[in-house]
A and B are shown apart, each in its own frame.
Chain A
Amino acid sequence: MADDELVALISGAFEPAMAMLDALDLADLPVEPDLDPGRAPRPQDGA
C-alpha cells in the first residue's frame, strides 16, 4: 500500500474520535495554565 493510502486509512480510523474534538467550541474551553502533567492541578493555577 502506498504511503498516502496508509495516511488515509489511519486518518479514517481516527476520524470518528477527531470529529468529536473538532465539534467542541473553544469558547467553552478557556485557557488553563496547569499543564505540568507531573502534578495535580491547584486552585492558584487559575481556574
Chain B
Amino acid sequence: MTHPQDRSLVAQARAVADGEISAAELLDATLERVEERNPRLNAVAATFPDESRAMAAAGVDGPLRGVPVTVKDMFSLPWRGFHNGTTREIGPRAASGVFRRLRDAGAVVVGVDNQHELGFGTTGLVSAYGPSANPWNPAHCTGGSSGGSAAVVAASMVAGSVGSDSGGSTRLPAGWCGVVGLKLTYGALPYDGYPGANSTLSAPGVFGRDSADARLMAEALLGRALPRGDASRLRVGLVRSPFWEDVDPEVAQLCESALATAGMAVRDVDLAYAEVSTAAGGVRASVEMSAVAPDSLLPELDALTRGMIGYARQIPAVRLLRADRVRARLRRELAAAFGHVDVVAWPTNPATAPPIAAPVIQLPSGPAMADPANLRQAVLGNLAGVPGISVPVGLHSTGLPVGLQLLAPWCAEATLLDAAEHLQAAVRVLANVKHSAGNDD
C-alpha cells in the first residue's frame, strides 16, 4: 500500500476532500514518516504533535484542508517563535503572515524545518540544530538557507513546505535537492512574524516535488489562483554572461538540453551590470542581515556566522551606495529584457552539492567556496524582487540533481509554474527523484 507521503500534495488534498483518508490519519502517518527518515537527514528541527492535531481537528475548509506541511524556522507560529537557525527563540510566539495563509487554506503545520543560521549561508551546514543532509546522498549538503525545507520534500516527509529567499535561499537548495523551489515576488504576502520583514531582498518561497504541488502551495500563500497557461510558446532569454560562465560543464549541458528537449524558444539576452550583481547583492544582503542580528546573540552564534557579520559590519558606506545604484540599473535592465522574452534562464547552482565534510565546489576556474558562486547565480532575483523558480532537469554523473533557474516579471509566478510544468513533462526526471530520495534504507 502506498504511504500517504509518497503521494503528491495535490493527491493528498484530494484524498482528504474525498474522505479517502482523514486529516488525523494523514497527520499520524506523516509524523511516523518524519520519525523514520529525519534522523538521517536532520531536515526537521521541531515537531509539535498536539498543536498539529488541533489544526487537523479544526477542519478549516480550503485547498489544503488536512494536508501536512512544514515551515522554515523563520516563521513564527502561535506556539513557537522563529529561532532563525539559532539556539534562541528570537521571534514572538504569534501567527505570522505565512502561518495565517496556511491555516486559512486548511493546511496542518506538522514541523519546523532546519535552516542555515540566520539565513546567512547557502550550504545548510551552519545551524544550531546541526547540518542538514541531502536526501540524494546524506554525505552532501542540502544547500541553504532553506535546506531543511528542500530536503523534507525531497525525502517525502511532507509534500509541501515553505522556505524563504534573500539571496537564493529557496532556489539554491531546491536545485541541490532535486525539487521545485519557487521564490515569490517581494512583498506579495504579509511579512509579520518573519525576519524578512527587515529586508528589501527577502521573500517567502515554496517547495514541492513537482510544479503542480508548488502551484498549490503558492496559491495558498498568495491567497489567489495561479491559473495554468500554455508554456510551449514561452520565450526564454539566456543571460550567458555571467550566469552560464564558470559553471560545471555537465550542469550547463543538462540545463541547455532540458530547454531544447522542451522545445522552448531560446535567445541570448544581455543585461548590463549583471556581472556586478553578485557584489551588489552581497553587500545589500550582508548589511541587512547583520543589522538585525542582536549583539547579545553574537557569542551564541557559530564562528562562521560571526565572521560573516564581522565582514558585513566592515563594508564601507560608499560600497552600499554603489550597490543600490547598480540595483536600480539592474531592475531597469531586467524590465527591458522582459519586453522581449517571457523568462530569463540559467543554471540554479554552478555545481552540484558539495560534501558536508569538505564544502567546496569544483568550477572550471578551480575549487571555490560555495557561497559567492551560489550568490552570483541567485541574487539578481532578490535585487529585482521578481519571482524565480528552480526546476530539476536531470542527474549529474555524481548522482546528484541539477536545477535550471527561471526568473519572470513581477507577480508572474504562474508563468514560472507553467514553464516548470512544461520542462518537467519534457525531461521526466522527477519520478526518479521521488523514488530515490530518502527511500533507500
User: Chain A residues in contact with chain B, CB under 8 A?
Assistant: 1, 3-4, 6-7, 9-11, 13-14, 17-18, 20-22, 24, 26, 29-32, 34-41, 47
Contacts and interface: CB of A to CB of B under 8 A. Distances in A.
Interface residues of B, number: 46
Interface of B: 185-188, 200-201, 275-276, 278-280, 282-283, 303-304, 306-308, 310-311, 314, 318-319, 321-329, 331-332, 335, 338, 369, 371-372, 376, 382-385, 409-410
B366 to A, nearest CB: 12
Counting chain B CB atoms within 10 Å of each CB, the highest count among A1, A22, A39 belongs to: A39
Given A13-B369, A29-B328, 19 more contacts: A3-B303, A4-B310, A6-B304, A7-B310, A7-B314, A10-B307, A20-B275, A20-B276, A26-B322, A29-B329, A31-B328, A35-B327, A35-B331, A36-B187, A37-B382, A38-B186, A40-B335, A40-B409, A41-B328
19 contacts: A1-B303, A3-B303, A3-B306, A6-B306, A7-B307, A7-B310, A10-B307, A13-B371, A17-B279, A18-B279, A18-B283, A21-B326, A22-B322, A32-B332, A34-B328, A35-B327, A36-B385, A37-B383, A47-B332
Counting chain B CB atoms within 10 Å of each CB, the highest count among A9, A34, A35 belongs to: A35
B329 A17 contact: no
Q: Is the interface of B mostly helix, strand, loop or mixed?
A: helix
Contacts of B382: 37
A42 B369 CA distance: 38
Contacts of B324: 35
Contacts of A3: 303, 306-307, 310
Contact of B280 (A1, A21, A40): A21
Contacts of B372: 13-14, 17
A41 to B, nearest CB: 5
B409 A21 contact: no
Contacts of B319: 18, 21-22
Given A7-B310, A17-B376, A24 B185 contact: no
Contacts of A39: 385, 410
Given A37-B385, A39-B410, A32 B310 contact: no
